[in-house]
Structure 1
Amino acid sequence: MPVTTNATAVQADRVVFRLPAIGPEITGVRLWSEVPVASTTFTRGDDGWELSIPRPPAHRIEYLFRLTLADQDEPVTITDPTNQLRVAGVFGDHSWLPMPGYAEPSWLDAPRSNGTTRPWEFDTADGPVTGALWAPADAWRGSELPLLVSHDGTQMAQYGRLTGFIGAAIAARQLPPLRVLLLDPGPHRHARYAANPLYAKALATEIVPAVADR
């Protein structure tokens, strides 16, 4: 995994993050991680920057380094140059580390029910709402199937492989055949998803009924 000898590493009970000395313009390094950790502040040594923390109770850690530079007011966020493992996300690539015992979900390589995805656009009282409808390829158009509504749906399908998981669960008969409505948040995500009664009404009285009628 590491590409240098002075690299980030997972030890028996600790994780040691390392950033080799790049230049004197770096005045501070902090860890960004969605997993809570004991500390985020690196210390500077002769060979670069280092942060040693107890191994967190997680299967894997996705993280970034935030660099404070002498000549810039805002920190710069980078992936770990000593770790070649990357995962794509809405806000760009992240570095990630597997913890001892980590295994990828078995459904990633499992047989799955093929599906079809077609774009949808809804003209609602809360403005245009775009998305897509995924359905099993062998589902008859107009047949009654359960409907799963996923907000941030396109991103969930792209980065979380939602429809792949659903397809594998259907093939394994862990879920019945169903449709998945992948809804996009639009340009004002927080306003739309933050307990917005206008959007909630549009979802219940316009969007879902429109899908059910097709």
Structure 2
Amino acid sequence: MTRRLALGPEVHGDRVRFTLPDPGPSVRSVALEVHPVIRGPKELHRLAPGCAWVLDLPRPDVQRLEYRFRLRGAGHEGLILDPANPGRVATAFGERSVLELPGYAAPTWLGDDAPVGTLEAMMVDGELADPVPVTVWQPPGVSADDPLPLLVVQDGPEYAELAALTRFSAALVAGGRLPPHRLALCQPVHRNAWYSASGPYLRTLTGPVLDHLTHRYAGCSPIVVMGASLGGLTALLAATARRDRIAGVFAQSGSFFRRRTDGVEPTFGPYQRITRRVGALLRAPATRTPLRVGITCGALEGNAANNRAMAAALAAQGHLVSHAEVPDLHNFTAWRDALDPHLTDVLLDVWNRSAT
């Protein structure tokens, strides 16, 4: 059976056909640029001079596929979006064309027209050369004196812009599925340095940043910390280090690098520091103060194996762990689509437990 999408790629059973209208005689080759874990040929072939370029790709085991075309020829090389596909997605690395495969559905909460809430920006000094920018979101009609639980977000502005996190909170609060709460959207000024098991950043986050928030706003406890990729690693390290202040953690596609499963990562400067800290997390003894931990990861991601290992180790130590693999890859839309029910369940477990 062939399913024709509105425009652009066509799904033919177990394969997807990409077609690029002829971009001109100077183009000598066209390749599909997708995540490296997607298998199959990437070079398109031209049907005839002046005709379209075509690629039949084995249907990937994901529900969404972000892609671009790479054009080469006559001393020119460049990346373009698919002109035949109106589907676009903003990513941390620029806009991409997106193919939504049959069976994919965006979260229903995206359609909720909930009031957006208010934002307050601040800068917090600590052990770092630069202050940490933090923007606090809270529901409409709430003041700083109203006691509300707190979710602290690494890559906070990106989560708000690319994963609609403030819309998620607004919609679930308005629908009565989550209690009113605040988001502290932390911005990484030097992301790779700060989010790579950096002691000064972790101490600044769990010390001055939380101190400032708990003094400025009423009732911040219990606190949950979340993040994705290196931010997921940071969230887990912060939570395990300060269980006196943090009760829950939500990590998406966490960069829990291990020598056994992440042999390509040593080219990343802080790799050794990360593997030491991850090793300590994996070998930690049983805990008397369990965290509520939620972990999500794309099933095909390079991080999938180390996320499985971390979830198993934390559960063996006595933490309350949920782990889900999703049919997408390492991107903010995948993390957005996994917020509900996985983040929802973590927040309800932590905040309901504190209320009893």
TM-score class normalised by the smaller sequence: 0.7 to 0.9
Give the 4+ runs in structure 1 shifted more than 6 A. Answer: none
Give yes or no for contact 1:113–1:170 (8 Å, CA) kept in 2. Answer: no
Structure 1 residues 50-73: Cα deviation after superposition (integer angstroms, max 9, x where no partner): 22112222222221112233414x
Within 1, Cα distance between the matches of 2:11 and 2:94?
A: 24
**Which residues in structure 2 correspond to 1:100-111 (within 5 Å)?**
100-111=102-113
Q: Which has the higher helix share?
A: 2
**Residue 159 in structure 1 maps to residue 165 in structure 2:** no
Which residue pairs with 2:40 in the alignment?
Answer: 39
The answer as to 2:26 corresponding to 1:25 is yes
Question: Match of 1:191?
Answer: 193
Q: 1:182 Cα shift?
A: 0.8
Deviation at 1:108, TM superposition (A): 0.9
CA-based RMSD of the aligned residues comes to 2.0
Question: Is the Cα contact below 8 Å between 2:9 and 2:99 reproduced in 1?
Answer: no
Relative contact order (C-alpha < 8 Å, sep 6+): which is higher? 1
- 1:29-80 per-residue CA deviation (whole Å, 9 max, x = no partner) reads 32222484222522322123222112222222221112233414xx422111
Is contact 2:33-2:42 (8 Å) kept? no
Comparing 137-146 with 201-210, greater Cα deviation is found at 137-146
| Partner residue in 1 for 2:101 | 99
SS at match of 1:68: strand
Whole-angstrom CA distance in 2 between matches of 1:173 and 1:40: 48
- Once the 2 structures are TM-superposed, how far is the Cα of residue 111 of structure 1 from its aligned partner? 4.9
Structure 1 distance, partners of 2:113, 2:52, is: 46
Counterparts of 1:182 and 1:137 in 2: how far apart (Å)? 17
> Bigger shift: 118-127 or 24-33?
24-33
2:65 matches 1:64: no
In 2: Cα distance, 1:119 partner to 1:40 partner? 47
* Counterpart residue identity of residue 130, structure 1: P
Cα distance in 1, alignment partners of residues 170 and 41 from structure 2? 39
Q: 1:172 aligns with which of 170, 175, 192?
A: 175
Q: TM-score with structure 2 length normalisation?
A: 0.54
Amino acid at match of 2:29: G
Structure 2 letter corresponding to 1:122: V
Distance in 1 (alpha carbons) for counterparts of 2:140 and 2:107: 24
Alpha-carbon distance between aligned partners in 2 of 1:206 and 1:16, rounded to the nearest angstrom: 53
Question: Where does structure 2 lack aligned partners over 5 or more consecutive residues?
Answer: 1-5, 217-356
The aligned length equals 207
Aligned to 1:79: 81
* 1:112-151 per-position Cα deviation (integer Å, ceiling 9, x unaligned): 3541111121122212211310011233313332211111
8 A Cα contact 1:111 1:171, kept in partner: no
2:91 — aligned with what?
89
| C-alpha distance 177-104 of structure 1, shift in aligned 2 (>3 A) | same
Task: Please give the secondary structure, in 2, of the residue aligned with 1:112.
Answer: coil
Give the letter for the 1:169 counterpart.
L
Distance 1:40 1:62 in 2: 16
> Quick one: distance in 1 between partners of 2:86 and 2:141?
40
Deviation of 1:26 after TM superposition, in Å, equals 2.6
Q: TM-score, normalised by structure 1?
A: 0.86
The residue identity in structure 2 corresponding to 1:33 is V
Q: How far 1:22 moved relative to its partner?
A: 1.7
Counterpart of 1:11 in structure 2 is 12
| 1:207–1:52 distance in 2 versus 1, CA, 3 Å | same
Stretch moving more, 132-141 or 17-26: 17-26
Q: Any idea what SS the aligned residue of 2:167 has?
A: helix
Deviation string, structure 1 residues 173-194 (Cα, Å, up to 9, x no partner):
22221110111111x2211111
Cα distance in 2 for residues equivalent to 1:207 and 1:83? 44
- Amino acid paired to 2:92: V
| % identity of equivalent residues | 36
Q: Distance in 2 between matches of 1:210 and 1:30?
A: 50
